Structure 1
Amino acid sequence: MPTVNPPRGMRDFLPADKARRERVLAVIRDRYRAHGFDEIETPVMEDYDRLHAGIGGDNEKLAFNVLRRGLDADAIRSGADDPAALADLGLRYDLTVPLARFYASHRAELPTVFRAIQIAPVWRAERPQKGRYRQFVQCDIDIIGDATGRAEAELVVATLDTLDALGLEGGTIRINDRRALDWMLESFGFTADERPGVLITIDKLDKIGPDGVTAELRERGATTAAVDAFEAFLRRPQTLEFRPYGEGQIRKALPEGVPDEIVVDLVAIGEAVGAARPSTGAGAGSGIPIVFDPFLVRGMGYYTGTIYELAHPSVDYSLGGGGRYDGMIGRFLGQDVPAVGFSIGFERIVDLVADGEDAAASAVVLVHDRDVPVAELVALKAALVAEGARVRLEQRTKNLKALLERAAADGYTAFAMVSAGALRADLELKPLS
């Protein structure tokens, strides 16, 4: 017998689960739109060559590819070692690559600075495990056409505002700049060729600690003098005095000599966010909900400047992230266009949000006797719907308690018993809880 389960790493959602997800998505959409972003939609598939153009990092290896139509057995055998010969399309593994293609295609129809919302499923051939799925929803906001720190500040403020609206106050943003990372690795003596691999190892600092990172760098065969310099920097004596987010904190967290331009840009973002959210003290008491992290890496290869992750005190993992990717759109247009984005991890956030009520004034189950005429039932239902209620018809069963418990689990808040000849005024609505 064939299995009736969904494919591994993919899920069905029962009505109550789906309703909860839609409530959270509605809040996210509302807050994004309030901050001036406009929603777009792109196809679930993109050309194979675009998805494997070297700009998607490790996610390119996780793409689901779509077999070309019309291939016979001989063509499949001859192309067994060349995926590009067998596939011409693929399911999108993120929303950033499709957005870059979308902007290149519709640039003439869009404003000079375009603020985009994309909320949609993506697919990755992950190894399924708790919290990691092969199909999941991403909630992205991006600003294209603005090279200044204003874009980053807008994204950060909109994201934190959205988190607050979901009842998850107290979020903070960990921030870094890929230019600072590149400069730091160069100052230690790592060669340009080995830096991508070094960054992969540094990204594990929170998990394996300084000893594990330096040991792995030596195992990778990284330049010995550079590893020594990096290890010395990690183990340098540090005082514990408080330093709020700003120039002092950033310079103290990096080796001496960091370019002023990088520091100025990071400070400006913090000042703008602090001005928009003056009452928040989540950023180590500074009034700015941002923390500079010199070892924040973010794995996507297309980041060119600022990078950040969303943290919340209730969990020890990030709830989203993003960064600046000024070079990606130029792959399609032949000229660089500044771009920066932030993605909320919807699947992680939806489990943290407290249950809410449906938007309808009430959700009513009409429990009717077998002999009530259909016309009467439909008329009663229409009357309640016209009043703004959500209504379900259920024929009375012997186990009324089980029927009502199921209705409550599905989000209904009240019920009424209906007999033949009943009018709207006759209905006595009783709470289900």
Structure 2
Amino acid sequence: MKIDNSPARGTRDLLPGVVAHRDHVLATISEVYRRYGYERIETPALEAITRLTGGEGGENAKLVYQVLKRGLPEQVEAETPLNDLIDLGLRFDLTVPLTRFYGNNQANLPLPFRSFQVGPVWRAERPQKGRYRQFYQCDIDLIGEESVLAEAELIEATTEALAAVGLTDSTVRLSDRRFLSALAQHAGFAEEDWMPFFITLDKLDKIGWDGVRAELIEKRGLPESAVKTALDGIERLRDLPASKVAESLTDVVPNLDEQVVSDLATTAASLERLDGIEWAFDPTLVRGMGYYTGQIFEVSHPSTTSSLAGGGRYDKLVGRSLGKDVPACGFSIGFERIVDLLEQKLDRPKTAVLYESDVPVPDALAAARRLRAEHGEVSAIKRSGKFPAQLKRLEEWGFTAFAHLRADGESEVRQLR
């Protein structure tokens, strides 16, 4: 049988230059988060399938890669339920594993706890440009902080991290799941219809207003009067100046809790003190995950129609592991997206020690060792072929300089570019 050597569909091999670029971006982001006190943790790729499909992952829970139990026979009886064959799945984000981590380890963690995670996640997406089945996420979370200090700090740290890698002039879009729930209630939706309403509204950028109306009324069968009231209210709240948001919210949604308006005002006041950051209230912002309970936010940038980062408050999710609710808020950077946006220009000196065949290996290694003290990244490479052709290959491989080592002694370092 011929073996297929291509990567799995929706995944990629990454060449050294690409990995170096990704490492540079990650190191820059990590340094910013470290200055804010966020501590790096790691969680397993595999989680219990019951946790991953427990209803809090929104649409992404439908994209879980499920893992068969160990020890199953080669054939199973017909009509065997799928749930009897599966016990684990690959994580589709880093938030659900974090809440289990915190539930298991909270006795040994500070309060509040500032968490930083980066790692691969998996979703059974339909592969297309910019969407992969395996990709990296980069998350910070603040657990145990009740006030909107959490939201404001997460947004400040993340926009600073994006600016540090070169993505300035970003815009923060704010909303609140409590606002959306109050809007749905005011419009006349039954409570069991709130989530279908949110899920459909979240597709606005893909299917437009006509598509949202058609799906809510024709596909989901929601009352036309309720749909009209909700969408009319959203239209009235779009593109408002910051000074008009609080007043307009209470006009459009009279049943909205005053705390929601106060929290949004506090977050906005914090953002207004940041240089280079614009913010706007966006009533169409939903975020796909089902676990959000309060403010939600995304960061947009002129260079792309997709968001660069997104997150929100999820006060009920930790309680699934701990048995009691713990306030929590998180922000996830779209790592793959920003890496693709940034030019791969790394000012990284890289020197080759080209040693002739009559030079003993210990001498070649010693020469490379001496040069590392001054030139950083140095590799010993045996001379082969025509000299100009080998120098050209070195440039293609990312080397910026070389030293020609002969048996009678080592030459000085020369630049390739």
Quote the residue 1:264 is aligned against: 262
Q: Deviations over 1:26-54 (max 9, x none)?
A: 11111110111000011111112221221
Paired position in structure 2 for 1:428 = 412
Gaps of 5+ in 2: none
Cα distance, 1:404 vs structure 2: 3.0
Q: Which residue of 1 aligns with 2:317?
A: 328
Structure 1 residues 115-130: aligned runs within 5 Å: 115-130=114-129
TM-score (norm 2): 0.93
Find the residue that maps to 2:280 and give its secondary structure.
strand
1:221, distance to aligned residue in structure 2 (A)? 1.1
Distance 2:257 2:247 in 1: 10
Does residue 403 of the first structure (1) align with residue 390 of the second (2)?
yes
How far apart in 2 are the matches of 1:155 and 1:294? 20
2:229 alignment counterpart: 229
The equivalences for 1:32-431 within 5 A come to 32-75=33-76, 77-79=78-80, 81-82=81-82, 84-219=83-218, 220-233=220-233, 243=241, 245-246=242-243, 248-252=244-248, 255-257=252-254, 258-275=256-273, 277=274, 279-280=275-276, 282-283=277-278, 290-357=279-346, 362-387=349-374, 389-423=376-410, 427-431=411-415
* 1:400 shift after superposition: 3.9
Counting aligned pairs with the same residue, the percent is: 46
SS of 1:307's equivalent in the other structure is strand
Check conservation: 1:174, 1:308, Cα contact below 8 A.
yes
CA separation of 1:56/1:430 partners in 2, compared to 1, >3 Å: closer, same or farther?
A: same
CA distance in 1, matches of 2:61, 2:407: 62
How many Å separate the matches in 2 of 1:16 and 1:405? 17
Number of the residue aligned with 2:28: 27
Displacement of 1:174 in angstroms is: 0.8
SS of 1:375's equivalent?
A: helix
Give the superposition deviation at 1:234: 5.5
Q: Distance in 2 between matches of 1:24 and 1:76?
A: 50
Which of 95-104 and 46-55 deviates more? 46-55
Q: Partners in 2 of 1:193 and 1:104 — Cα distance?
A: 29
Distance (whole Å) between structure 1 residues aligned to residue 79 and residue 210 of structure 2: 47
Contact 1:326 1:339 in 2 (8 A): yes
- The structure-2 alpha-carbon separation of the partners of 1:58 and 1:45, relative to structure 1 and needing over 3 Å to count, comes to same
For residue 194 of structure 1, give the secondary structure of its aligned residue in structure 2.
Answer: helix
Equivalent position of 1:286 in the other structure = none
Q: Is the 8 A contact 1:76 1:86 kept in 2?
A: no
Q: Alignment length, in residue pairs?
A: 413
Give a deviation string over 1:40-84, Cα, whole Å, max 9, x none: 0111111122212211122222111221111114546453x32x2
Partner of 1:2: 3
Distance 1:231 1:160, change over 3 A: closer
Indicate conservation of the 8 Å contact 2:183/2:230, yes or no: no
Quick one: distance in 1 between partners of 2:142 and 2:217?
40
Cα offset, 1:399, TM superposition: 4.3
* C-alpha spacing 1:12/1:239, structure 2 compared with 1 (3 Å): closer
Is the contact between residue 113 and residue 143 of structure 1 (CA under 8 Å) also seen in structure 2? yes
Q: Which moved more, 1:44-53 or 1:387-396?
A: 387-396
Q: Deviations over 1:362-413 (max 9, x none)?
A: 3101222222222221110111123352112222333444433443343322
